[in-house]
């Protein structure tokens, strides 16, 4: 039983299939609708524009799936996690399906910052001749170019098993490196090889 003055629920879900093509905002809207359809007693913010008290984890790029994504939902009263999960499953679509939920403490880190390290599994169309992490990657953000050192974001080495790649990236307070951007640079010398799927399989603390 959580703190009786705090009913903060962390909900886990998967983003797969056609829903992998949804933007972060579209995913958020779809899951908010699922919460409403499930009839859950969610808390509402105060002020001029009241809205559901829901906070989502780190965003995924369009086209990248997630095996265990999460969001935090503030409830107004206690409902057993398994009952919440069952209600959300009933209200979810298969490719954006809630898998489980648990109550967390009022002082626990928000979902967006609790798990800065993400592990990705990539299925390629073929086996690349060689993979070489570039010295730098140039990205454009808000019409400004920024040069990133991929080694600052990579946690450990890139694992390769034929056409399967697995790697982990850490989001820094100063910024992050998207998995699809890293992949595009890794495959720059193999134009005939491309990603069939990219899935975030795990999120964890440092």
Range in 21-30, 82-91, 130-139, 160-169 with the lowest mean pLDDT: 130-139
Which domains are delineated in the chain? 7-113 (3.30.70.580), 117-204 (no CATH)
Q: Which residues contact 126 (CB under 8 A, 6 or more apart)?
A: 163, 190, 192, 193
Residue 30 neighbours by CB distance under 10 Å: 16
User: Mean per-residue pLDDT for 21-37?
Assistant: 97
Please name which of 171, 179, 177, 201 lies closest in space to residue 69, comparing C-alpha atoms.
201
Q: What is the 3-state secondary structure (H, E, C) of 34-75?
A: HHHHCCCCECECCCCCCCECEEECCCCCCCEEEEEEEEEEEE
pTM above 0.95, yes or no: no
The answer to whether 123 and 140 have CB atoms below 8 angstroms apart is: no
> In residues, how long is the chain?
206
The residue among 1 and 76 whose pLDDT is bigger is 76
Between CA 7 and CA 42 the distance in angstroms is 9
pLDDT, the chain, mean:
93
pLDDT tens per residue across span 151-174: 999 999 999 999 999 999 999 988
pLDDT over 90, % of the chain = 84
């Amino acid at each position: 039983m959580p703190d009786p003055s705090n009913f903060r629920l962390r909900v886990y879900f998967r983003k797969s299939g056609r829903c992998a093509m949804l933007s972060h905002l579209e995913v958020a809207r779809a899951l908010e609708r699922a919460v409403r359809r499930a009839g859950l007693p969610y808390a509402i913010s105060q002020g001029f524009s009241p809205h559901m008290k829901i906070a989502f984890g780190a965003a995924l790029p369009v086209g990248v799936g997630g095996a265990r994504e999460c969001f935090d939902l503030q409830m107004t009263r206690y409902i057993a996690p398994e009952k919440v999960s069952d209600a959300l499953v009933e209200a979810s679509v298969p490719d954006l399906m809630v898998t489980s939920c648990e109550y967390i403490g009022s002082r626990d880190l928000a979902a967006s910052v609790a798990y800065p390290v993400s592990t990705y599994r990539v299925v390629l169309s073929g086996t690349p001749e060689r993979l070489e992490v570039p010295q730098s990657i140039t990205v454009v953000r808000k019409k400004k170019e920024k040069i990133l050192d991929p080694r600052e974001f990579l946690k450990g080495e890139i694992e390769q098993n034929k056409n399967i790649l697995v790697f982990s990236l850490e989001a820094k307070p100063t910024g992050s490196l998207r998995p699809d951007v890293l992949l595009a640079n890794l495959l720059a010398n193999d134009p005939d090889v491309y990603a069939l799927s990219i899935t975030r399989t795990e999120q964890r603390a440092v």
